[in-house]
Amino acid sequence: MPKGGKQKTPSSAQLPISKFRRKLVETIQGNTFVVVTGETGSGKTTQLPKYLFEEGFARHGTIAVTQPRRMAAISVAERVAEELGCPVGGLVGYQVRFEECISE
């Protein structure tokens, strides 16, 4: 572990999900419901919504990700916003109990 006790976050290209980007997008385009499974840290939560946004899925509505914990929801929004180069509350936001950071 690096100094300071924090693990380095892998770049999006290093995450296992990156190998399946095209197949995931094609599968989602061709189906009403899709269940995506993978190991913790594989990129399901942060990369899949980004792929869908980049492929134009947001034209049809909101791309939503659910998280069971408020800190996880906020952290995911921060990571995706950073990778897209936008502030949280713009293209990427979050809504948790008693708090929201979304665009109008």
Q: What is the pLDDT of residue 98?
A: 87
Q: Are residues 43 and 23 in the same domain?
A: yes
* Residue 7, pLDDT above cutoff 80: no
Q: What share of the chain in percent tops pLDDT 90?
A: 65
Checking phi first, is residue 8 left (phi over 0); if not, alpha (psi -120 to 50) or beta?
A: beta
Separation of alpha carbons 16 and 18, rounded Å:
5
Domain that holds residue 50: 13-59
Per-residue tokens: 68: 């069971």
Per-residue tokens: 1: 């572990």
Domain count for the chain: 2
Q: What share of the chain in percent tops pLDDT 70?
A: 89
Q: CA geometry: angle at 87 spanning 23 and 101, to 5°?
A: 95
Q: What is the pLDDT of residue 24?
A: 96
Phi, psi of 82 (to 5 degrees): -60, -45
Q: Flag whether 33 is in a domain.
A: yes
Separation of alpha carbons 25 and 51, rounded Å:
8
Q: What is the pLDDT of residue 3?
A: 52
Q: Flag whether 7 is in a domain.
A: no
